Amino acid sequence: MKDEIETILGDLSSQEVAEKAEEAKGVETPAELPILPIRESVLFPKMLLPFMVSQERLVKLIDSALLANKMIGIVAIKNKDVGEVKPEDLYEIGTAAYILKMLKLPNDTLRLLVQGTARIRVGPFTQQDPFLRAQVTTLAEQGEKTTEIQALMAAIKGIFQKFVELAPNLPADLAIMAMNVDEPGVLADLIASTLSLPLADKQAILESLDAKTRLEKVNLLLNKELQVLELGSKIQTQVREGIDKSQREYFLREQLKAIQKELGEKDERTAEIEELRERIAKAKLPPEALKEAERELDRLAKMPPSAAEYTVSRTYLDWLVEIPWAVSTEDSLDIAKARKILDEDHYDLEKVKKRILEYLAVRKLKK
């Protein structure tokens, strides 16, 4: 959003920007305003909102406002998927806004920067074509700045400072700006405007006229957002430390290999791989088993010993070469002896035992 604002302000000096913002402060909200619907966003009083307008009816709305008092009403649409917006599709509470600057692009699209001036209640509507227009009532801030509110503000400012430090897309001077805010309602609005909240949450804050209630809602939502950022930061730190550790171990292993090579020595791991290769060669494995053993050995050679699968792979190869592939024995087809062994070694499992004995009986008949 900061980049969009800077693009719209263009070559205005900081003094001119301040003058425009001051100009917006002195504007009174008229009794009737053209209403500009916006999707999935809320404008809070004293906050800036950059956006673009391309629909013909909305371009006419902006032209009308510029010819009058540069004031418009900005109201969120309840359902983002609605097509042509009607009065019943809008929330009842919105924000009066002053047009700070407008840029007309070559394709007749308007790029605007507006500043919220006051909360308004919208209705009844006096016009629907070519754009919406309605009577509006300015809503006053409620509640006094008590000691409790001051304490709540101090706590929120501290939390917000941590939030800005962790948030990747927020400028650092935003925390300083919040620290200098003395009005409780403005502080709540400023922080709410920076949080990535669902529309319903932002609208609920906009509709809260009592400053203490608004601060409490923002405090709750800010803490939740901070917890998410802290968890994300913790995960990133753990991942980074894990990668750093693995890279360091790999680097040290490679150094050790180079030193051992220079000394004409073999490291334990290389010796282990060569030993396994010799055992595989002597095990007289059948072609398919040999192919699998060589594939697994190549895989093991590329794995660091600290890897979770290293031990599993090593155990698998040990088991593979220990199988007596080239040793054969004469089959024992004594069914009575087999029955005795099965009963002694295995409780129950009658169906399994029966199947084994049937298999032995068939083998005995065929012999």
What pLDDT tens digit does each residue of the chain (367 aa) get? 555 545 554 545 455 555 666 677 778 899 999 999 999 999 999 999 999 999 999 999 999 999 999 999 999 999 988 888 999 999 999 999 999 999 988 888 999 999 999 999 998 999 999 999 999 999 998 888 889 999 999 999 999 999 999 988 889 899 999 999 999 999 999 999 999 999 999 999 999 999 999 999 999 999 999 999 998 888 888 777 777 777 777 777 777 767 766 666 556 677 788 888 888 888 888 889 889 989 998 888 888 777 778 889 889 988 988 888 877 777 777 788 888 888 887 777 888 888 888 888 888 787 6
User: How far apart (Å, rounded) are the C-alpha atoms in residues 17 and 164?
Assistant: 24
95 lies in the same domain as 195: no
Alpha carbon distance 197, 221 (integer Å): 8
State the number of CA atoms in the 13 A half-sphere of 366 facing the CB: 7
**Does 135 share its domain with 43?**
yes
Q: Do 135 and 152 fall within a single domain? A: no
Cα 356 from Cα 110, distance rounded (Å): 84
Query: For position 107, what pLDDT does the model report?
Result: 85
The answer as to whether 315 is a domain residue is yes
Query: What range does the domain containing 341 cover?
Result: 335-366
Q: How far is 323 from 284, CA to CA, in rounded Å?
A: 10
Same domain, 224 and 311: no
Q: How many domains does the chain have?
A: 4
Element housing 137 (H / E):
strand 133-139
Any domain includes 253: no
Do 152 and 228 lie in one domain? The reply is yes
Residues 171, 188: one domain? yes
Domain membership of residue 262 (yes or no) is no
10 and 129 fall within a common domain: yes
pLDDT at 323: 86
Q: State the pLDDT at residue 201.
A: 94
Examine residue 174 and state whether it is found in any structural domain, yes or no.
Answer: yes
Which residue in 10, 122, 104 sits closest to 66, CA to CA? 104
Cβ neighbours of residue 200 closer than 8 Å, sequence gap 6 or more = none
Q: Are residue 58 and residue 106 in the same domain, yes or no?
A: yes
Looking at the fold, whether 80 and 194 belong to one and the same domain comes out as no
Taking the C-alpha atoms of residue 74 and residue 45, their distance in angstroms, rounded to an integer, is 11
